[in-house]
Structure 1
């Protein structure tokens, strides 16, 4: 096990009490309540967290891929404390200094003319409001989204989501039409190159628009780099092609940067890699690393003008909450001052990417490596030749045994992984050091021998 932090003293009795209280009263998301045993976490700092039994873990999941600035960053903690002493809360209809400054700092970094910021409490609410804005702006009902996607768990966002978490809540009446996005390694278009995948994916989307009726489509929403569904980096030209289709038919182009934004890909926003400007952009997570719940929609001048004299019919009691905005201001300033975005880009290009490709060469269970910055995925397979996934799509508990064994091997040696279906994602904080990254990659390398045991 990784050595526990020197200032953390194990306290198993307190850990047992925390677990008992959790089991008695907390209803957990995405879980069968009697089949889970949540880890009781005693504390966190930087890239690590620890439990009450004396075990320390290097967090290769950044919480829920949101702790971009790491845990307990002193400048952000201090900003929250200072704001709490000055003004803890105030209604969103008023002009508040820290709210205006947070909006200015976000707008300063968004591409193009996305200069108006509507604050929400998180990413799902940002998506809900972006879709509402698009429908009101165009007067059209339908929204197109990709099958391999996740956009949130609220009513509209879960219908936009493409992965299996949608299925229990899908009403089939939300005005959502799904399509296949590009995925060269498992091409739905039988492509044999990224260039061909891009061409065929755009042709598929153009056909879908034609058959759904472009006059009925309000928006196309995409994760700039698909997150939970596989860290799928779009092939060159794809996002520009979608932008062109939207321009041709007057469709609002929405980029969901909730996971990919604020340094995760080595740029402030992933869209910057391709010089594509959407009409609306959603954000959350990394804007303040989740220290206080915050999300938002960055709005183009054209869409903002729609509501210049026409009221926007939406709002939230805690929109632009002062504590959340103070943490965002401190986060963005710290990321700039400490060159945290540049650190993510450098480690991805120089350390993480090369190491993962070397690991893939050594392990028969690694089919593909893909990613950028501190946003990577290993596609695990039973056979490199057939590319059969190590576990099936949406696996049962029994089918998921290989991934469970792999995750257990990581945790045993002090690495907390992010696993989803047949993938393990390498998504540490953007603040991770080179030494920490190498520590985690070495543990990952060893744990993959467990996955290798399930290959054929």
Structure 2
């Protein structure tokens, strides 16, 4: 531990838990404490820990071919690309593989700029797109602050957030109308002829599980078509079943030009990500070289797990499970908790992806901790986190929110067990709000 440099952390203040093992929706530390994983680690272990079919796929592929250059063809790489393309919307028919989500974003932006000959990118304020150069430059949230200036030609806009509407709307429909009018004005003021692409999380992840209101994604699609802008759907966090669809944008019947993916494609068992590319963009490179590549693009071990993952999704009915249990058990259970806890401002989400927004006061909607709480009192969320972990629940904490994202294989009984613990955790949040 002393020689590991940890991400997003003050090194001397860390005391990380040492994990000894995991299975399904559970993992345990070196002291024997068991945790119900309500975060899927970093919202990536979609099929749970140590899934036997995924482990077997790694072993089988390792006995055949552990690695090979991306300049040659490989059966598992080709098979996975076909499986992904078959499940993608619209004419998204080609796949460029990376080793993670940030690299996927980097190459999606490169594709958009190459395709249009333009440079500017539109990105939302409440967003996270990765920790590499272009990706962190596109990111709207405070984690980009420490890397600025990023030298990325980016213009930011406000996306819809009905609970804290930038425009003071009172209905989801009005929020959509206001958000699209705002976006159109940004495009016009920046000059559409200068804008290569727009990148948008289909459901905003770390920054609040913000589910798009009715008509918003379709409106974004229409604006991009009108102005010749490449629409990039960032689905690194919400792709591959997280909201009950192969790709989250399919829940709103929208087909972007590019989709970035990672995490859930193979539950993070071996690093893998990529970009699904529309035929009209991919065909631009049929007779001219694409200016980019990665040593481990389409790594055979990673692709083998991806193929096995899709087989498990199909065989075990993962998507129907997420839709039904996510709405009735998880979403319904969280709504009931909200009714009995003064610290809950709003519960929102879809499938196996939800947020509990914690506030000091439900009327004023003042957050339980300030936005980007550096220099301010963030201890209430630390107390909430400690309360969850001490009761055997591993939460996903972001800002003033408890974000709930269990593995997609989590059973109804396990979800109910987690909800019971959350009830106790929210009682601690209530005490913090009352101070």
* TM superposition score category, shorter chain reference: over 0.9
Determine which of 313, 318, 330 is the counterpart of 2:291. Answer: 313
- Aligned ranges 1:177-326 → 2 under 5 Å: 177-326=155-304
Distance 2:148 2:121 in 1: 14
Deviation at 1:248, TM superposition (A): 0.5
Aligned partner of residue 209 in structure 2, secondary structure: coil
Determine which of 314, 324, 329 is the counterpart of 1:336. Answer: 314
Report if the CA contact (8 A) 1:259-1:286 is conserved: yes
Pair 1:452 & 2:430 matched:
yes
Aligned partner of residue 48 in structure 2, secondary structure: coil
Deviation at 1:169, TM superposition (A): 1.0
- Counterpart of 1:431 in structure 2 is 409
Distance 2:375 2:411 in 1: 35
Distance 1:399 1:134 in 2: 41
Please give the per-residue CA displacement for 1:394-437, whole angstroms capped at 9, x wherever unaligned: 11376111111111111111000000110000100000000000
Deviation at 1:340, TM superposition (A): 1.2
Deviation at 1:170, TM superposition (A): 2.4
- Aligned ranges 1:73-92 → 2 under 5 Å: 73-92=51-70
Aligned partner of residue 454 in structure 1, secondary structure: helix
* Gap regions ≥5 residues in structure 2: none
Distance 1:349 1:375 in 2: 10
Deviation at 1:349, TM superposition (A): 1.1
- Counterpart of 1:414 in structure 2 is 392
Determine which of 109, 116, 124 is the counterpart of 1:131. Answer: 109
Determine which of 348, 356, 359 is the counterpart of 1:381. Answer: 359
Distance 1:173 1:88 in 2: 38
Determine which of 388, 393, 398 is the counterpart of 2:371. Answer: 393
Determine which of 42, 48, 51 is the counterpart of 1:64. Answer: 42
Please give the per-residue CA displacement for 1:68-109, whole angstroms capped at 9, x wherever unaligned: 000000001000000001000000011100000010111111
- Counterpart of 1:175 in structure 2 is 153
The count of residues paired between Structure 1 and Structure 2 equals: 434
What TM-score, normalized to structure 2? 0.99
- Counterpart of 1:103 in structure 2 is 81
- Counterpart of 1:357 in structure 2 is 335
What TM-score, normalized to structure 1? 0.94
Deviation at 1:173, TM superposition (A): 2.7
- Counterpart of 1:36 in structure 2 is 14
Deviation at 1:267, TM superposition (A): 1.1
Please give the per-residue CA displacement for 1:190-241, whole angstroms capped at 9, x wherever unaligned: 1111111100000000000000000000000000000000000000100000
Distance 1:171 1:308 in 2: 36
Report if the CA contact (8 A) 1:114-1:298 is conserved: yes
Please give the per-residue CA displacement for 1:115-146, whole angstroms capped at 9, x wherever unaligned: 10000000000000000000000000000000
Distance 1:433 1:439 in 2: 10
Distance 1:173 1:215 in 2: 20
Aligned partner of residue 115 in structure 2, secondary structure: helix
Deviation at 1:305, TM superposition (A): 1.1
Distance 2:286 2:194 in 1: 24
Distance 1:45 1:400 in 2: 33
Deviation at 1:264, TM superposition (A): 0.2
Aligned partner of residue 433 in structure 2, secondary structure: coil
Deviation at 1:172, TM superposition (A): 5.2
Distance 2:55 2:433 in 1: 46
Report if the CA contact (8 A) 1:394-1:421 is conserved: yes
- Counterpart of 1:10 in structure 2 is none
- Counterpart of 1:155 in structure 2 is 133
Aligned partner of residue 344 in structure 1, secondary structure: helix
Structure 1 runs of 4+ with >6 Å offset = none
